[in-house]
Amino acid sequence: MTTPAELSSRFNVSGVAFDAGNGGLNRIVVNTESAQAHIYLHGAHVTHYQPRGFDPVLMLSSHSFFQPGKPIRGGVPVIFPWFGPRDGFPDAPMHGFVRLKEWNVDSVSRDGQFVDITLSTASDDSTRAQWPHEFVLTHAIRVGPALSMSMIVQNMGKESFTFEEALHTYYSVSDVLQINITGLKGSTYLDKNQNMAEMKQVEDPIVINGKNDRVYVDTQATCVLTDPRGKRKITVSKENSNSTVVWCPWQMTPQGMADLGEGQWQRMVCIETCNVKKNAVTLEPGKSCTMKATVWVERI
């Protein structure tokens, strides 16, 4: 594993540092006049984003595991090549394997108030044992007044493959019972709490008043999360994403989610930029595709 000192020597960029984060895992720390961010090489995982003058945008669990082989709870997990449990493979890791891998740092650069970081991972013996395809996956992250994240999938093999992908973003809110989400009115969703029943989003805005786990399909809509108590709204726009997941675990017991701190369910909601279920992507040999999410905050 490359050390923070070696990374600092390779990528000497103003406002960017490398250190050993929680659990001793390699971490990139961005600190500029426009924003702060933390990005772990474990899973290419953005765990912190805070534009200047605002509270943190992302929720990171106080009980999260920071261990090799375990996912980080909170922030922005990178999901690939399947979403949730893998059908027919009960022992496969939830949400795929890339969030459990140590990623490579390809580039770090700065353009004024923006810092651009590119991380990548690729197929190897461990991934082929679980999913027999050749790929390169890149996570391009831009930190500035807004946070942009792009997942770039390349098919390096000789056959097409089909995959699911998601930026499983946990947003920090003052009280999930008081927030609302607009942008998905009229969309069709699959309700995981009702055996994946297909339903129509009639209510607008969406409010959280119980366990919520919905996969909105065939939508490229921009979502706006309004947090009156927090006196802000968070806008999530996306490109080449045809699904959106809205998730709140509600009052999970420690047995149900041991890596989520007590009561933290009330301080979070997930709005996930993704291509899942019927919107899974089929990629031909030699081709690539990019899914992008952009997040920004405004006062209300």
Q: Please write the tens of the pLDDT for every residue from 156-186.
A: 999 999 999 999 999 999 999 999 999 999 9
Distance from C-alpha of 266 to C-alpha of 268, rounded to nearest angstrom: 6
Q: What is the pLDDT of residue 252?
A: 65
| Residue ranges covered by each domain of the chain | 4-299
Distance from C-alpha of 284 to C-alpha of 162, rounded to nearest angstrom: 9
Q: What is the pLDDT of residue 255?
A: 57
Residues 198-238: tens digit of each pLDDT: 999 999 999 999 889 999 999 999 999 999 999 999 999 99
Other Cβ atoms within 10 Å of 172 Cβ, number: 21
pTM of this prediction exceeds 0.85: yes
E runs forming strands in 33-164: 35-40, 45-51, 78-79, 104-111, 114-122, 135-143, 147-155, 161-163
Give pLDDT < 50 ranges for the chain: none
Is the domain defined by 4-299 classed in CATH 2.70.98.10? yes
With left for phi above 0 and alpha for psi between -120 and 50, is residue 43 left, alpha or beta? left
Q: Residue 58 is encoded by which pair of tokens? A: 């992302």
* H or E, element range at 127: helix 125-128
Q: Residue 295 is encoded by which pair of tokens? A: 């997040």
Q: What is the pLDDT of residue 233?
A: 98
